[in-house]
A and B are shown apart, each in its own frame.
Chain A
Amino acid sequence: MKILTCPLNGPRNMSEFTYGGEYHPTPDHADASAREWAEHVFFHHNTAGVVTEWWCHNASSYWFLAERNTLTDEVLRTFDCDQLYNQRIDFSAVTTPETRK
């Protein structure tokens, strides 16, 4: 079986992991339009080549990032998401003309 190296738990069978989608920065929740949110939630680059994506190690519920080549299925590296997310983001309800519609 293919082996993926989890930054927390070390090398494990691929079957222990769940794919979590492409990594892309979250829009600014304070003033992103509904269109930007739609794009963020539904649309993907779906690149044929090296991509950065989310993976979860199921047994530890641990989310991390991986760089993987989607043509060869080769994983180039895996790393902790603390490198990209290091502060808490609090959401507050925002009313924009689009959400009121």
Chain B
Amino acid sequence: MPFGLLKYGLSSEYPAQQHFNPAADLKKHYDVVIIGAGGHGTGIAYHLAKYHGITNVAVLEKSYLGGGNTARNTAVIRSNYLTEEGVRFYRESVKLWQNLSNEFDYNVMLENRGQLTLAHSDAAVRSFRWRAEVNQHMGVRSELVDRQQIAELVPNLRMSEESRFPIMAGLWHADGATARHDAVVWGYARGACQRGVELHQLTEVQDVEITAGRVTAVLTNRGRVGCGAVVQAVAGASSVVANMAGIKLPIHSYPLQAMVTQPYKPLLTPHVSSPHVHVYVHQTSRGEFVIGGGSDPSPLYNTRATLEQRESLSAAALELFPFLAQARLLRQWAGTTDMTPDYSPIMGLSPVENYYLDAGWGTWGFKATPICGVSMAELVATQKVPDIIAPFALERFYRFEQINEAGATAASH
């Protein structure tokens, strides 16, 4: 059997699949420049090219494809949010996820595992009841479950009433899922490049040229690139890039750390998260336990890992799953979360006429990838804000109309 695989690998009849065009010279002008080649940036390019016929598009990436927060998030897909606007938005995204592999003929390894959020206080139970009501009203599968149901859903969860924060109830979200994050960005990038979009890696936007309230070009380390419109999709650097266009955002950027254990046999099916003990745990299809928690306590543009966070994440994970005490950690890493005051994204128009924002992705960016591709591409192509993203406009902070999702995070930040 190993020989068959070797033969396949070396055979010229099955060459390695080329995902996207090799970097060509930058053109002098593009109709649309997208800053950032993560899931969002490539998703927007894909939809512009495939559904709006806009193919003179460059995706500029200062590092490499999908190397930012697309690669660093913990791949949780869910829609059990708290506000009507939030639930509607993430619900559409979860629907798109279901068909994503077919959409671009690339396996994103979607697994519908379900997600369980734990309540350890009366206040949390009340807020779960509220979320379940809102979710069901909006057609999202979400229900309050009791201790016995929790024990059945996750047999190896510690249900002791003697623990520091005993589990009182849970919010079960059958629509919760996970996917292979790299595959998402590869699928979008391939589909976009096949339709003429150019992906330029190691191409850093260093300034934005604005004339009479309109973007005319971006200045990169490879020279000036004229453009008809710009979309910034740079989670983790939203403020820094927006600042180049003279736009101030309501964002603080915090590191968020996660870690994985070495692989084990399948033991845990759903995602389990506890906002109270600040941890979420799930087991990947490879068998590794992914352990994530809240953002770091203070803002930082640095993806270093800290011992303190390893200690507190481990303590919290053991509170729920004592058997993990035997597990060895394989690696620990961080992404940068652009936290907004209301824990909702900032999407749509900006004070600069043809400069579009896809920012403020905090800890909710991965799950929103497909809907962002659809809605941001529609905005750029039609210059009309789609209803589904209208509530997330930057202007909402001036109108005091925040979309408060602080109560719907998987771990408190």
Q: Does a CB–CB distance below 8 Å link A and B in the complex?
A: yes
* A19 and B397 contacting across the interface, CB-CB below 8 Å: no
Fill in one digit per residue for B122-142: 1 if any A CB lies within 8 Å of its CB, else 0: 000000000000000000000
Fill in one digit per residue for B291-302: 1 if any A CB lies within 8 Å of its CB, else 0: 000000111111
* A39 and B248 contacting across the interface, CB-CB below 8 Å: yes
* B300 and A73 contacting across the interface, CB-CB below 8 Å: yes
Interface residues on A, range: 20 to 34
* B301 and A48 contacting across the interface, CB-CB below 8 Å: yes
* Assembled-state Cα–Cα distance A45/B240 (Å): 9
* List of B residues within 8 angstroms of A1 by Cβ: 307-308
In angstroms, how far is the closest chain A Cβ from the Cβ of B296? 9
* Assembled-state Cα–Cα distance A74/B250 (Å): 24
* A46 and B249 contacting across the interface, CB-CB below 8 Å: yes
Among B299, B302, B341, B398, which residue has its beta carbon within 8 angstroms of that of A46?
A: B299
* List of A residues within 8 angstroms of B252 by Cβ: 21, 44, 46
Fill in one digit per residue for A54-96: 1 if any B CB lies within 8 Å of its CB, else 0: 0000000000000000111100000000000000000000000
Given the known A-B contacts A1-B308, A15-B308, A46-B239, are A38 and B397 also in contact in the complex, defined by CB atoms under 8 Å? yes
* Assembled-state Cα–Cα distance A45/B238 (Å): 11
* A43 and B248 contacting across the interface, CB-CB below 8 Å: yes
* Assembled-state Cα–Cα distance A15/B297 (Å): 9
In angstroms, how far is the closest chain B Cβ from the Cβ of A47? 8
* List of B residues within 8 angstroms of A47 by Cβ: 239
* B398 and A35 contacting across the interface, CB-CB below 8 Å: yes
Fill in one digit per residue for B385-413: 1 if any A CB lies within 8 Å of its CB, else 0: 00000000000011010000000000000
* Assembled-state Cα–Cα distance A87/B253 (Å): 32
* List of B residues within 8 angstroms of A73 by Cβ: 300, 302, 304
Among A21, A48, A72, which residue has its beta carbon within 8 angstroms of that of B240?
A: A48
In angstroms, how far is the closest chain B Cβ from the Cβ of A33? 10
* Assembled-state Cα–Cα distance A27/B94 (Å): 42
* A19 and B248 contacting across the interface, CB-CB below 8 Å: no
* B248 and A70 contacting across the interface, CB-CB below 8 Å: no
* Assembled-state Cα–Cα distance A44/B253 (Å): 10
| CB interface residues, A 1-55, toward B, < 8 Å | 1, 14-15, 18-19, 21, 34-35, 38-39, 42-48
* A45 and B308 contacting across the interface, CB-CB below 8 Å: no
Given the known A-B contacts A44-B239, A46-B251, are A38 and B400 also in contact in the complex, defined by CB atoms under 8 Å? yes
* A44 and B251 contacting across the interface, CB-CB below 8 Å: yes
* Assembled-state Cα–Cα distance A28/B302 (Å): 35
Identify the interface centre among B239, B299, B301, B308: most chain A CB within 10 Å of its CB. Answer: B299
In angstroms, how far is the closest chain A Cβ from the Cβ of B6? 46
Among B253, B297, B341, B400, which residue has its beta carbon within 8 angstroms of that of A18?
A: B297
Among A19, A34, A42, which residue has its beta carbon within 8 angstroms of that of B297?
A: A19
* Assembled-state Cα–Cα distance A10/B163 (Å): 36
* Assembled-state Cα–Cα distance A35/B302 (Å): 32
Identify the interface centre among B297, B301, B308, B400: most chain A CB within 10 Å of its CB. Answer: B301
In angstroms, how far is the closest chain A Cβ from the Cβ of B40? 19
* Assembled-state Cα–Cα distance A19/B250 (Å): 17
Among A21, A38, A44, A71, which residue has its beta carbon within 8 angstroms of that of B301?
A: A71
Among B251, B299, B308, which residue has its beta carbon within 8 angstroms of that of A19?
A: B299
In angstroms, how far is the closest chain A Cβ from the Cβ of B244? 12
* List of B residues within 8 angstroms of A38 by Cβ: 397-398, 400
* B250 and A70 contacting across the interface, CB-CB below 8 Å: no
In angstroms, how far is the closest chain A Cβ from the Cβ of B242? 9
Given the known A-B contacts A38-B397, A38-B400, are A45 and B239 also in contact in the complex, defined by CB atoms under 8 Å? yes
Q: Which residue of A lies closest to B299 (CB)?
A: A70
* List of B residues within 8 angstroms of A70 by Cβ: 253, 299-302
Fill in one digit per residue for B339-355: 1 if any A CB lies within 8 Å of its CB, else 0: 00100000000000000
In angstroms, how far is the closest chain B Cβ from the Cβ of A73? 5
* Assembled-state Cα–Cα distance A1/B309 (Å): 11
* List of A residues within 8 angstroms of B298 by Cβ: 19
Fill in one digit per residue for B250-286: 1 if any A CB lies within 8 Å of its CB, else 0: 1111000000000000000000000000000000000
Pick 14 A–B contacts, CB within 8 A, sort by A. A14-B297, A15-B308, A21-B252, A38-B397, A39-B398, A42-B397, A43-B249, A44-B248, A44-B249, A44-B250, A46-B299, A48-B301, A71-B300, A72-B302
Q: Can you name 6 extra interface pairs (CB under 8 A) apart from A19-B297, A48-B240?
A: A15-B308, A19-B298, A42-B397, A43-B248, A48-B301, A70-B299
Those 7 A-B pairs whose CB atoms lie nearest each other, nearest first: A46-B239, A19-B298, A42-B250, A42-B397, A48-B301, A43-B250, A38-B398
